[in-house]
Amino acid sequence: MRFDELNANNYILFAIKHYENPQCVTQEDFNEDMKRFKYLKRLFKRYFKTGEIRIHLIINHIIILYNVFGEAATSLLFFKLEREYWSALKTFLIFLNKYPVGFLPTLDIEDEIQEELDKI
């Protein structure tokens, strides 16, 4: 299933199907991992509102999402985050070598974020 096929009715089933966390034993553990999408949304919102970017925290959340959802994390990230944050997300995914080749080729990256990532 591609991210453009995800909707409010099926994204949870998609997430459950691709969820692989050996330390997860309860639904609450799954819900905690799902909250990372909300945390990322807040971090990107803060960046676009104030210019403040928490590079390492964003990277940590994205890495954890890929660890528990595998490549399905890409579809979930683009579904769960508003379009206005996609350029920032793309910048991080390229940095982490997780951005699919040919995916949304006209989507720009955030130059300010790229400059910060280049410092790492």
Distance CA 57, CA 80 (A): 18
Higher pLDDT pick, 115 / 29? 115
Distance CA 18, CA 67 (A): 11
Distance CA 78, CA 47 (A): 17
Distance CA 51, CA 82 (A): 17
On average, the pLDDT of the chain sits at 91
For 52-76, what is the mean pLDDT?
95
Tens-place pLDDT, residues 1-32: 566 688 888 999 999 899 987 776 778 888 99
Which amino acid does the sequence have at 74? T
For 95-116, what is the mean pLDDT?
93
